[in-house]
Amino acid sequence: MPKILIIGACGQIGTELTKQLRAEYGTDNVIASDVRKTDPEFVASGPFEVVNALDFNQIEHTIEKYGVDEVYLMAALLSATAEKNPAFAWDLNMNSLFHVLNLAKAGKIKKIFWPSSIAVFGPTTPKQNTPQYTVMEPSTVYGISKQSGERWCEYYHNIYGVDVRSIRYPGLISWSTPPGGGTTDYAVDIYHKALENGEYTCFLSEETRLPMMYMDDAIRATIEIMKAPAENIKIRSSYNLAAMDFTPKEITEAIQQELPEFTISYEPDFRQKIADSWPQSIDDTCARTDWGWKHEFDLATMTTDMLVHLRELKHND
């Protein structure tokens, strides 16, 4: 049974990843960490350490304290937030990765998961069915840091034999954690607003098509790629990952199937330019072939599940 450390466990993905990994490997085998204790209930749910992802010594100490085998590095500044503070975003997104790669190089840990993103692509990338290998000229600091990270992951694997694994997340949609500052977060907020007041003002235009994935699928993909035999992981930069793609207009229509009175208006802001630079759909054949990836949720089934869970949350509040 591996000992697992999650760095950035209080974030949008980290929270749910921690819960699922604890369900599979046992609570005591999964150590959550973040730069601060933001959620008392989550912090109390199992082993938790305050760890600054930029502090090499803190990370090393935590790994040694618990005898950690695997690290999931989920700490990052996301696309829209990163544009407001480019220097810090670069520092956090890159140096936290170097710390973990160097600890693996030194033999302190056996396996790393590091998430990349569709933000590695840019305006010159083919928009439809974006292939695994293609032009990558990102136009955001988040995308630049993720593309650079992919190259370093591949380098550390090829030169030092580090077992690092990665997937390029599309936009992720979850009912259990609030939006985290990403350009695709409208597709989370829209469900909350649909139930709260029956209307939503979208910061992207109605025909902005983006690749998306329900969080349940994303968490499952993350754990599956880490469980896969090393010989099946043929790409050590990052795998394309896909499930569905839709526009704000299409997600509105899906919600209206269950909430007919729901309305939407559009006021595109600076995030529109970011979204316009990204793919509209993703070809993830390599992930499906190499380690057997299959998504389970489409727009309709995700919408039903989101609304069921959000209604339960509001009922319990």
What is the share, in percent, of the chain residues with pLDDT greater than 70? Answer: 99
The pLDDT tens digits of the residues spanning 67-109 come to: 999 999 999 987 788 899 999 999 999 999 999 999 999 999 9
Buried b (16+ CB within 10 A) or exposed e, 7-16: bbbbbbbbbb
User: Residue 142, Cβ neighbours under 10 Å: how many?
Assistant: 27
Give catalytic status of residue 214 as yes or no: no
Burial of 230 (0-12, 13-18, 19+ CB in 10 A): exposed
Model pLDDT, residue 178: 73
CA dist 300 and 289 (Å) reads 26
Measured CA to CA in angstroms, residue 142 lies from 10, 19, 105, 146 at distances of 19, 26, 25, 6
Name the β-bridge partners of 72.
6, 113
pTM summary value: 0.94
The pLDDT tens digits of the residues spanning 203-227 come to: 999 999 999 999 999 999 999 999 9
Q: Is the pLDDT of residue 315 over 80?
A: no
Q: Is the pLDDT of residue 317 over 70?
A: no
CA dist 70 and 50 (Å) reads 18
Given the residues 142, 156, 169, 186, the one annotated as active site: 142
For the record, the structure tokens of 167 come out as 């997937």
Residue 279's pLDDT band, with cuts at 50, 70 and 90, is very high
Give me the domains of the chain, ranges plus CATH numbers: 4-170+215-240 (3.40.50.720), 172-212+244-279+297-316 (3.90.25)
